[in-house]
Amino acid sequence: MKPLGPIPLGFGALGGELAIGGRRASEWVEQAGGTPLFVYSAEMIRRRVADLRAAMPDRLLVHYAVKANPYAPLLELMRTLVDGFDIASQGELELALAAGQDPAAISFAGPGKRDDEIEQAVRHGVTLNLESTGEARRALAIGDRLGIAPRLAVRVNPSFELRGSGMKMGGGARPFGIDEAQVPGLAREVIAAGAVWRGLHIFAGSQALGAEAVAETQGNVLDLAARLTREIGAPLPHLNMGGGFGIPYFHGDEPLDIALVGARLAARFAELPAELEGTTLAIELGRYLVGEAGVYLTRIVDRKESHGQVFLVTDGGLHHQLAASGNFGTVVRRNYPVAIASRFRAEPTEEASIVGCLCTPLDRLADIAHLPRAEAGDLVAVFCAGAYGASASPSAFLGHGPAREMLV
Ligand SMILES: *Cc1c(COP(=O)(O)O)cnc(C)c1O
């Protein structure tokens, strides 16, 4: 038997079934027209943002990283809850604008920005977080050609990383951002060329659950931003401090202690270096805001046994929920939080593996898990599906098509 990850708080049961947003999972499936289906709870997202804001210093702005979940109705909700969007492509720019986000509250990071993407960003007045010297020069040339002063910030490749983070985005040779030592020279160059100077972006990693590590990184980010600002010699309008707040996916994971992170940040804000006194300060979060609010529902179409092991075969799989199959940035496959949604309150009585409908051994949603006995027709819930689910999975693979999505 292999343990399942922890089911996020906030889900209850109705009539023995998993309840999401006060209604049974099967009702949402019926309303959506079938499975597979992602259900995102607006109420859980609202609560998450409110709890986060209560824990953080008032001065801290909260931005949403659109890549975590770009579903249009969810973006419209996020626009009303956060202070800005961080995007990473022209497609995300279009989604952000369609959701009604003010272009002045959008920043565009990401390596490999094409000229046409830069042009769209400049035309709309979106801030470009520059990832290289070459990109800076292209942005300035495009601004000149359009007769628009581009809004430019520099993404820094910090010399430190976020300890314990699932995905490291700083500390050493990286394709992201500009090495610390080159930042002051480049910033002075874009300011001298007449760009609107928007400041610095320092993102050191993702999916961290250790509050001490997050607090330490935030301290390092503030110190680095102050030092670079001194070297640049111009006031720093905005500092995107990165994020990296993780959520528990696996057995034994403990939630991030945001009270501790907030207290440590408040202490740092109370004695900010003079260089940062007039700076707006933001964090950018994706999965922490929306990950636990999403559930992927898929229906069991077959129950079979092989060499004494039970397999529950579903109509979904890794083409919608790649991360739960263990094939999205994990080294060792471990079980996500998964349950039989239609028997949510039943006691586990057997060991079974839940697999998807794809013809590949990679397509496993739960491996040798302790579950209530389930049959064809039962609904399976994969939790922590609100981020890096539908849009981060290869939905064209094997031709089953995309999953349905709904915000409730
Ligand atoms: C992916 C990414 C994020 C969001 O990461 P989460 O782990 O979902 O919070 C934020 N900022 C940048 C620059 C990113 O690349």
Residue-wise pLDDT for 88-97, tens only, equals: 999 999 999 9
Residues 280 and 303 in one domain: no
Residues 94 and 243 in one domain: yes
Last residue in a domain, options 261, 285, 309: 285
Q: Classify residue 5: in a domain, yes or no.
A: no
**pLDDT tens, residue by residue, 42-68:** 999 999 999 999 999 999 999 999 999
Q: How far is the CA of 143 from the centre of ligand 1 (A)?
A: 27
Residue 308, classified by CB atoms within 10 Å of its CB into exposed (0-12), middle (13-18) or buried (19+), is: exposed
Q: Is the peptide bond before 111 cis (omega within 30 degrees of 0)?
A: no
Last residue in a domain, options 285, 312, 334: 285
Pocket test for ligand 1, best of 174, 176, 203 (most atoms within 8 A of CB): 203
Query: Coil, helix or strand for 276?
Result: helix
Residues 131 and 247 in one domain: yes
Please check the confidence at residue 397 and state whether its pLDDT lies above 90.
yes
Q: How far is the CA of 160 from the centre of ligand 1 (A)?
A: 17
**pLDDT tens, residue by residue, 373-393:** 999 999 999 999 999 999 999
Farthest-apart Cα atoms in the chain, separation: 71
**pLDDT tens, residue by residue, 355-371:** 999 999 999 999 999 99
Question: Does residue 264 come out as left (phi exceeding 0), alpha (psi in the -120 to 50 range) or beta?
Answer: alpha
Q: Classify residue 54: in a domain, yes or no.
A: no
Residues 296 and 278 in one domain: no
Q: How far is the CA of 288 from the centre of ligand 1 (A)?
A: 10
* Domain limits for position 159: 70-285
Cα–Cα distance, 64 to 82 (Å, whole number)? 7
Q: Classify residue 2: in a domain, yes or no.
A: no
Residues 369 and 266 in one domain: no
Pocket test for ligand 1, best of 48, 154, 218, 284 (most atoms within 8 A of CB): 284
Query: Which residue's alpha carbon is nearest to atom 8 within ligand 1?
Result: 286
Please check the confidence at residue 114 and state whether its pLDDT lies above 70.
yes
Predicted confidence at residue 195, as pLDDT, reads 98
Any idea which residue has 């994971």 for tokens? Answer: 253
Q: How far is the CA of 352 from the centre of ligand 1 (A)?
A: 34
Please check the confidence at residue 157 and state whether its pLDDT lies above 70.
yes
Q: What is the CATH number of the domain that holds 273?
A: 3.20.20.10
Query: Coil, helix or strand for 197?
Result: strand
Predicted confidence at residue 172, as pLDDT, reads 84
- Asked if 303 and 354 touch (Cβ cutoff 8 Å), the reply is no
Q: How far is the CA of 284 from the centre of ligand 1 (A)?
A: 7
Q: How far is the CA of 377 from the centre of ligand 1 (A)?
A: 37
Residues 27 and 88 in one domain: no
Phi then psi dihedrals of residue 166, to 5 deg: -70, -35
Query: Which residue's alpha carbon is nearest to atom 4 within ligand 1?
Result: 286
Residues 279 and 332 in one domain: no
Residues 364 and 266 in one domain: no
Residues 151 and 263 in one domain: yes
Query: Which residue's alpha carbon is nearest to atom 6 within ligand 1?
Result: 286
Residues 216 and 349 in one domain: no
- Does the C-beta of 378 come closer than 6 Å to ligand 1? no
Last residue in a domain, options 267, 285, 303: 285
Q: What is the CATH number of the domain that holds 306?
A: 2.40.37.10
Residues 261 and 148 in one domain: yes
Cα–Cα distance, 74 to 71 (Å, whole number)? 5
Residue 389: C-alpha distances to residues 85, 122, 328, 399 (Å): 19, 30, 10, 17
Cα–Cα distance, 173 to 183 (Å, whole number)? 15
Q: State how many domains the chain has.
A: 2
Predicted confidence at residue 164, as pLDDT, reads 82
- How many Å separate Cα 75 from the centre of its chain? 13
The mean per-residue pLDDT over the stretch 293-314 comes to 98
Question: Does residue 399 come out as left (phi exceeding 0), alpha (psi in the -120 to 50 range) or beta?
Answer: left
Q: Classify residue 65: in a domain, yes or no.
A: no
Query: Coil, helix or strand for 187?
Result: helix
Is the C-alpha dihedral spanning 187, 190, 194, 200 positive or negative? Answer: negative
Q: What is the pTM of this model?
A: 0.97
Question: Tokens for 317?
Answer: 């799989």
How many residues can be counted in the chain?
Answer: 408
**pLDDT tens, residue by residue, 314-352:** 999 999 999 999 999 888 899 999 999 999 999 999 999
Predicted confidence at residue 168, as pLDDT, reads 67
Q: Classify residue 20: in a domain, yes or no.
A: yes
Query: Which residue's alpha carbon is nearest to atom 7 within ligand 1?
Result: 206
Query: Which residue's alpha carbon is nearest to atom 13 within ligand 1?
Result: 203
42-55 vs 72-81: helix crossing angle, rounded to 10: 30
- Does the C-beta of 203 come closer than 6 Å to ligand 1? yes
Mean pLDDT of the chain: 97
Q: Classify residue 121: in a domain, yes or no.
A: yes
Q: How far is the CA of 58 from the centre of ligand 1 (A)?
A: 22
Query: Which residue's alpha carbon is nearest to atom 14 within ligand 1?
Result: 65
Q: How far is the CA of 169 from the centre of ligand 1 (A)?
A: 9
Residue 85: C-alpha distances to residues 1, 77, 106, 153 (Å): 42, 12, 5, 15
Q: Classify residue 248: in a domain, yes or no.
A: yes
- Does the C-beta of 243 come closer than 6 Å to ligand 1? yes
Residues 208 and 265 in one domain: yes
Q: Of ligand 1's atoms, which has the minimum distance to the CA of residue 287?
A: 8
- Does the C-beta of 29 come closer than 6 Å to ligand 1? no
Q: Classify residue 108: in a domain, yes or no.
A: yes
- Does the C-beta of 65 come closer than 6 Å to ligand 1? yes
Query: Coil, helix or strand for 85?
Result: strand
